[in-house]
Structures are given as structure tokens and as C-alpha cells.
Structure 1
Amino acid sequence: MNGIIQSILLCIVVVEIIVGCFGNGFIALVNCIHWVKKRKISAVNQILTALAFSRISHLSTLLTFLFLSTLYSDLVLSTILVKLLNFHIIFSSHFSMWLAACLGLFYFLKIANFSNSFFVYLKMRVNQMVSGTLLMSLAFLFLNTLLINSYIDGQIGGHRRYPLYGFSSNDTAAFYRVILIINYSIFTFPPFVISQSTFLLLIFSLWRHHKRMQQYTERCRDALANAHIKVLKPMITYVLLCSIYFLAHLIQNLKTELLENIFYIRCCQIATLAFPSGHSCALIWGDTKLRQTSLFVLWWLTCRFKDVHPMGP
């Protein structure tokens, strides 16, 4: 029975990764085609395309790791291989989190309406703010990589090695637990805070705008309110999935013994993979161009399927 449950959980993990790769690949492909045709690309589409590529890289790395850990669960890694594997995961997850945070920051500065002079100054330099935030994040990436590599060098001394997966001992589980704490708890927290802050400030901006408009008109909504709501819809999904992602990694750090339970690990993987996979679907549905293109592709595939398999009389 346990074997069947584990197989089902593993299938869910693989499906999430495949859906995420297809969703992010679709975003990147549509934006790149539009870029080639129009010879230009907007700032938001640049962020979306970079975010899609980073998530494809992240999900591909996780799929490779999952494939190797399933087929070669007893494989033992040297220091160089552990560093290389962790660098790929750190690099891809770093840009996945920070680009998503930059997307929320871009929407906030473009849509929100505050009379504060400092906010007006930032609003006029939205592209520089997003670029500066992304450049600042490189310092976190460097520090993250440095700390993890230093920890790996300190733990894997001499000829000591660690298995790829299957935390069969407390020492191995504790080793990977520290890596999880450094990578997903400490260095995931800043973009998580930025994302939550921009979301709450957008809601506050919409509330203030609504109160202000009630003094002048009885119309249900105006253009600025519609812009707020259009941006907030995908951001609600993003904030929820990002919170689940952060909490799932945080929960893994509570007890070392839990990392020895494969059922617990699979459940955490399902929770964390919902963020890069589910958010791509929310981005597609929230963007008019991407939504229309996806509906056209689905319609075309449906027609092709009917032509290949005609219905009986």
C-alpha cells in the first residue's frame, strides 16, 4: 500500500514539473515570437520571458535530480558533484523567486497611485528600480553560493561523501537540512517579503482610490480601478502559491528526522512545485495576449485531434 501511495505522489510531482515546463515554455515562446515580429518587447514581457526561462531551468534541474535519485538512490556524490548540483538549483531558484518579485514590483509601481513624492520619484524610474533590484539580488546569490560551498567543504572532508538521495542517517539528513535552511529559508525570505509587500500595497492603493472616487462619482469602476483588479487577480494566486512554497520549505527545516521519511518529502515536493508550475498558468490566464493565444492553440489541437480521430456515424 505504501508503495502505491509513493508511486502516486511521484507521478503528481512529475506531472507538476511537466505542466510547469510546458506553461513556462509557452510564455517564453509567445513572447519571443512577438519580439521577433514587432522588433521590440515591453519591459513587462522582458521580465515574463526571463522568469519563464529561469523556471524552465529550475524545473528541468529538479526533474533531472528526481530521475537520478529514483533510479540511482544509492549513488554517492563527491564534493564537486554536490557543489555542482546545488549551484544549479540555487541559481535557477534564485532567479525564479527574484524575477517574480520584480514582476510584482513593476506592477505595483506602474499601477499604484500614491501622492507621496518619494513614490512619484520611484514611479518615474520604474525600469531602473526593477533593474536595480535584480542587480542587488546578485549579491544574495553570491553570498548564498559562498555559504553553501563553505558548509559543503567543512562537512565533506577528505574522502567523506554523501548519497544523492534517501537520507538513511541522521548525519546525512542534518547535512541537507542545513542546505535547505541556507537556500530556502534565509535567501528566499527577501523576495518573499517584497512580493507580499507589493501585493498589500496594491490592495491599499485600490482601497484609497475607491474611497476617493466615491466622493465624485457613483460609477462602479473606472479605468484605474480596473487596472488594479486586473493585476491583483494573478497576484492573488502568486501570493498564495509563494506562501505555500515558502512554508513548505520552512516546515522541512523543523525536524531532521522528517527528512528520512520519503512520504513526507514527496508531499513537500508537491507543495513547493505548485509555485513555479501553477503561477505560470495564472500568468497565462491573466495576460490577454497569452490567454487568447493559449485558447487558439487548444482550439487548433482539438480540431487536429478530431481530424485524426473522426467520430463514428
Structure 2
Amino acid sequence: MTSSSVAMMTSFALLCLSIAIIECMAGILGNGIILAASSLSRTGSKTWPPYDMIVISLSSSRITLQCWIILDLFLTIFCEPSYFEENIFGFIKTGYMFLNCSSLWFGAWLSVFYCIKVASFTQSFFIWLKLRIARLVPWMLLTSWLCSFTTAIPFAWDVYSVHKNITAPSSMTNSSARTTTRNDSSGLLILLYNASVGMPLILSVASSVLLIRSLWIHARQMQNNASGFRDPSLEAHMKAIKSVCSLLIFYVTYYIAFTFLLFDLFLHFSTPKSICIAVMAACPTGHSIVLIWSNPKFRELPARIWQHINSSVRITSM
């Protein structure tokens, strides 16, 4: 670590960045389980169910994103002088923008898919979506990639001019200088940010609210019919709603932290910025844990691996 990094980074900020790296590693493991379980279940199959397509896209994008974040943090901490050169900084931030947007879009489509499959609305448009969701999912995912790519490319053109003051010595890098630079060149980034990140947020909130409403109506009907709450379909609905609600909570939290970082509101290596990075690293990891918990197929793979390890240990010890 360079002397300037040591001088600027507090012990608490360093702790937050270390926690972020650990959270990313845990997220890579969790999303790796989801990716492996979804891929193995489709081995030899010519068709992929829409849910598996969304989950595979989401988990693979998050694995890449979390690896990218770890690389970014290591370069920021240990290679600060060379990291803020135009080529390296632009490449890292552009790749991060693309992966971040695609991950958010895939998470939003997962919420939409839950809503369409689980909710029981009778409107003609909703029924049309329910009947055609399998054919729409590939186009939804392709659109997400294109939107993310469209967002990342202009960001690559502008990223250096937005952050060029960071290359100045730490004593000269103050908030007013960065604010002047940001005001001159962030108009396009604000528009792209609202389109690429705000739209998935709206989809997640809308689908979650609709799903909660549908589940509440279904529960009231069951209660009026004295059917109890042990119906397996209702239990499946409850797991789906918990997963969607957790995604929504993680999504909103991630959205807020990402907004602070994107508009460069905090000083480099400051405690608030390090906290935002740790929060952002925790959100995808937390949601992957919820997905594993709510899906028996995802829970089965770690159990089988653990059972295989125990069997191998017993055989070796005999």
C-alpha cells in the first residue's frame, strides 16, 4: 500500500473494505451454488425453463460483478498511483457499470417473473403475460444486456473527465473541485443512470406490490372458506413473496448506496464511501442466500456436497 493510501484511509474505512471483499467472496460462493444447481438440473435438456434462464443469468452476472468489485478494491488499495491512470480507471469503471446494470435488470426480471407466475389477477393483459412469459424471457434478458451495454459505452467516454481530479495530489483533491468537474460532465450519466437503474427499480417495486396484494387476497379467500393456511400452494406463495420482498429491500439499499458512489459524493478513501461499498457488496450476497433458502433445488446441492465430503472422510479414516 502506498504512503498516500495509508494517510488517507482510516482504520475503520480499511475494515469496511476488507468486509466488502469477504462479502463478495461469500456472494461468489452462494451464486456459484445457484448457478451450478440450475445448470446441472438442465443437463441434457434441449429447452430451458424461463425461471432457470433468469436465475442463471442473474447468478453468472453477480459472480462476475463480485469478482470485478474485488479486483477494483485490490487495485484501489494496493495500486493507487497506476490505478487512476485513464486507461485502467476507465476500463474498471466501465466494466463495473455494465455488470452492475445487467445484474439489476436480471434481479428485476426475477421479481416480474415471480409476480406473473404466482399472482392470480384476471385482467386480460396479465393473463396474456402468463401464457407467453416463457417466450418473452429470452427477449427480456437480451434487452437487459443491450440496455447495460448502451449505458456502459457512453460512461466509458465520460468517466475520465468526471474523475480526473482524483489524480491530483490528496491535498488538492477537495469536494469543491470534484463538484465543479461533476457539474460540467454528469448530465449524460444522470440520464443513463435513471434509465438503466431506475427502470429496474420501478419494475421490482411494482411487481412486489402486485404480488403482495395477490397473496393477501388469496389468503383472505382461504380464511373465509375455512381452508386454513397449510395449503402447499400458499406455502409456496409465502416463500416466493419472502424472496421478492428480500430482493426489494436489498435492491433499494443497493440503489441508494450506488447513487452515492456514482455521483462521487464522498472523498476518496473516506469512511462514508467505504460503508457504501460494504453495503453494496452485502446486498447481492444476502439475496443469493435468500434464493438458496427458498428453493429446495438450491439447498440440495450444498447438502449433497457436504454428504459426499463426509463419506470421503469416513472412507479415508477407515
| Deviation of 1:6 (Å) | 3.2
Question: 1: CA distance between counterparts of 2:94 and 2:317?
Answer: 46
Q: Which residue pairs with 1:210 in the alignment?
A: 219
Match 1:122 to one of 126, 129, 146: 129
- The question of 1:6 aligning with 2:13 is answered yes
Q: Which amino acid aligns with 1:101?
A: A
Distance 2:202 2:284 in 1: 17
8 Å CA contact 2:17, 2:274 repeated in 1: yes
> Aligned-pair distance for 1:123?
0.9
Alignment partner of 1:269 is 2:270: no
| Matches for 1:87-236 after TM superposition, within 5 Å | 87-138=94-145, 140-152=147-159, 163=167, 168-170=173-175, 171-172=177-178, 178=186, 187-236=196-245
The farther-off stretch of 133-142 and 44-53 is 133-142
For residues 6-30 of structure 1, the C-alpha deviation after alignment (integer angstroms, 9 at most, x for no partner) is: 3322221110011011111121122
Partner of 1:291: 299
CA positional deviation for 1:289: 1.1
**Between 267-276 and 173-182, the greater mean CA deviation after superposition:** 173-182
TM-fit CA distance, 1:198? 0.9
Question: Deviation at 1:5?
Answer: 2.5
1:249 corresponds to 2:261: no
Instruction: Please give the TM-score of this superposition, normalised by the length of structure 2.
Output: 0.81
Alpha-carbon distance in 2 for matches of 1:128, 1:14: 38
Letter matched to residue 284 of structure 1: I
Indicate the residue corresponding to 2:41 in structure 1. Answer: 34
Q: Which moved more, 1:219-228 or 1:197-206?
A: 219-228
Does the aligned pair in 2 maintain the 1:97–1:188 contact within 8 Å? yes
Deviations 1:94-120 (A, max 9, x none): 211111111111111111101111111
| Structure 1 SS opposite 2:120 | coil
CA distance in 2, matches of 1:255, 1:49: 32
TM-score by length of 1: 0.83
Partner residue in 2 for 1:83: 90
Q: Which moved more, 1:95-104 or 1:73-82?
A: 73-82
Q: Distance in 2 between matches of 1:125 and 1:248?
A: 35
Inter-partner Cα distance in structure 2 for 1:44 and 1:37:
17
Between stretches 177-186 and 9-18, larger displacement belongs to 177-186
CA contact (8 A) 1:75 1:163 kept: no
Conservation of the 8 A alpha-carbon contact between 1:78 and 1:162:
no
Contact 2:20–2:282 under 8 Å retained in 1? no
Cα RMSD between the aligned structures?
Answer: 3.4
Separation in structure 1 between the aligned mates of residue 138 and residue 208 of structure 2, nearest angstrom: 19
Deviates more, 1:215-224 or 1:65-74: 215-224
Unaligned runs of 5+ in 2: 1-8
- 8 Å Cα contact 1:241/1:275 also seen in 2: yes
290-299 or 32-41, larger mean C-alpha shift: 32-41
On the 8 A contact 2:174/2:267 being kept in 1, the answer is no
Q: Deviations over 1:182-213 (max 9, x none)?
A: 66555211111111111111110011122233
Bigger mean CA offset, 131-140 vs 104-113: 131-140
Q: Percent identity?
A: 23
* Structure 2 CA distance for partners of 1:187 and 1:224, relative to 1, 3 Å: same
Q: How many residues align structurally?
A: 306
Q: More deviation in 164-173 or 117-126?
A: 164-173
Alignment-derived partner of residue 56 in structure 1: 63
**Could you give the per-residue CA deviations for residues 241-267 of structure 1, whole angstroms, max 9, x where no partner exists?**
1111112223446873x2345211110
Quick one: distance in 1 between partners of 2:264 and 2:159?
20
Structure number with higher relative contact order (C-alpha < 8 Å, ≥ 6 residues apart): 2
Alpha-carbon distance, 1:125 to partner: 0.8
Gaps of 5+ in 1: none
What per-residue deviation string (whole Å, max 9, x for no partner) do you get for residues 282-308 of structure 1? Answer: 111111011122233345446767888
The offset of 1:271, in angstroms, is 0.8
The equivalent position to 2:267 in structure 1, one of 243, 253, 259, is 259
Q: Is the 8 A contact 2:114 2:244 kept in 1?
A: no
- Distance between the aligned counterparts of 1:41 and 1:32, measured in 2? 10
